[in-house]
């Protein structure tokens, strides 16, 4: 089992930047895929970005491509989400998640059901 804890959320203005952090405790393996999802009030949880723990290959939702960057620090067991040029529509609770059974030759999942470990979430609010 891996435990996840997010931090770094807050209230910012449109155009500002924020960096979210996700601390992973417990055993982690190179086969893991780490993802960021978000959920706005009244909406379903949606995929934001993912990274393969071993190779570092990254994946992004079209809505954040070019503005957000996911990265990881294997030595510290940390995953980050750098968010630039924030928009009011980015307002949501952001969750860190782990898919512990994604072989390297399998497409990375972008649906919440495929991820089996979740953090508690951190609120990001972007004012216009």
pLDDT tens track, the chain, 128 positions = 789 999 999 999 999 999 999 999 887 788 899 999 999 999 999 999 999 998 999 999 999 999 999 999 988 999 999 999 999 999 999 999 999 888 888 889 999 999 999 999 999 999 99
5 forms beta bridges with 23
Check residue 39 and give its pLDDT.
98
Of 102, 22, 5, the closest CA to residue 54 belongs to 102
pLDDT at 27: 75
What does the pLDDT read at residue 26? 81
């Amino acid at each position: 089992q891996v435990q996840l804890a997010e931090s770094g959320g807050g209230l910012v203005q449109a155009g500002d930047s924020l960096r979210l952090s996700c601390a992973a405790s417990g055993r982690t393996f190179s086969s893991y895929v780490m993802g960021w999802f978000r959920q706005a009030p009244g909406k379903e949880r949606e995929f934001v970005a993912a990274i393969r723990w071993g190779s570092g290959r990254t994946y992004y939702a079209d809505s954040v491509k070019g503005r957000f960057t996911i990265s990881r620090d294997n030595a510290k067991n940390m995953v980050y989400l750098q968010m630039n040029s924030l928009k009011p529509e980015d307002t949501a609770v952001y969750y860190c998640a782990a898919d512990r059974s994604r072989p390297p030759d399998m497409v990375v999942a972008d649906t919440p059901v495929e991820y089996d470990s979740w953090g508690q979430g951190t609120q990001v609010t972007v004012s216009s």
